Amino acid sequence: MSVKTLFIAVIGIAALMTTASIRAAEIKILASNGVREALQELAPVFERETGHKLVITFGLAAALKRQIEAGEAFDLAILTSAGIDDLAKQGKVDAASRASIARSGVGIGIKKGAPRPDIGTPDALKRTLLAAKSIAWAKEGASGVYFAGLLERMGIAEQMKPKAVVAPRALLWGSSSPEAKSSSASSSSTN
């Protein structure tokens, strides 16, 4: 994801929000962990350039979506595309304000010093996963949901269960967990 692209998107969304009568000096953002690093870099620049204060809450896209569904107040949500689309169907965000702003991949990490596994083909990845002593992923993060689905599609989900270490939250892996294959932003429709 390009920092410049995300900055332009945030500025554009802020401009849309101002035309939608959100003229507060404080902008509340709910953002998935996948855009954490970029937003932490961009927020001070945005605040200096616009005079607006950003109050950003980071978390798993699924958890933030549940907060929005429960009535959490926000001005801008940056979640997975599927999450924004579902919230739009529920009338929780303005569908016309949806903008795709980033894509992030799902990666594999190994223990430091361990030999690099062969994951160059689908069959090689399958052999590597089946040979692993343990496999860990976050249950609710978009990348974890994707990975669990991948195991199903590969036909090895049952074989992997005894080796699985499924964490309840991506935050267990550190501050910059990949959060989604794609992220979207949308301003609220009812704030």
H helix and E strand count, the chain: 7, 7
Q: Which residues pair with 29 in a beta bridge?
A: 56, 76
**pTM score of the predicted model:** 0.65
Give the side-chain half-sphere CA count within 13 A for 162: 5
Which are the contacts of 71, defined by CB distance < 8 A and separation ≥ 6? none
Mean pLDDT over 160-166 rounds to: 92
Write the DSSP string, 129-147: HHH-S-EEEESSSHHHHHH
Does 21 score more than 60 pLDDT?
no
Task: Tokens 């801008």: give the residue.
Answer: 76
Show me where the domains of the chain are located: 3-105+180-187, 122-173
What pLDDT score was predicted for residue 97? 92
Tell me the two tokens of residue 174: 């550190």
Summarize pLDDT for 100-140 with one digit per residue, the tens.
988 877 888 888 998 899 999 999 999 999 999 999 888 87
What pLDDT score was predicted for residue 58? 95
174 sits in the region (left: phi over 0; alpha: psi -120 to 50; else beta) called: left
d(CA 181, CA 102): 9
What pLDDT score was predicted for residue 14? 58
d(CA 181, CA 60): 13
Architecture of domain 3-105+180-187: 3-Layer(aba) Sandwich (3.40)
Task: Tokens 């605040």: give the residue.
Answer: 47
Summarize pLDDT for 41-66 with one digit per residue, the tens.
999 999 999 989 999 999 989 899 99
In the chain, the largest separation of any two C-alpha atoms, in whole Å, equals 57
184 sits in the region (left: phi over 0; alpha: psi -120 to 50; else beta) called: beta
Summarize pLDDT for 76-107 with one digit per residue, the tens.
999 999 999 999 999 999 999 999 988 877 88
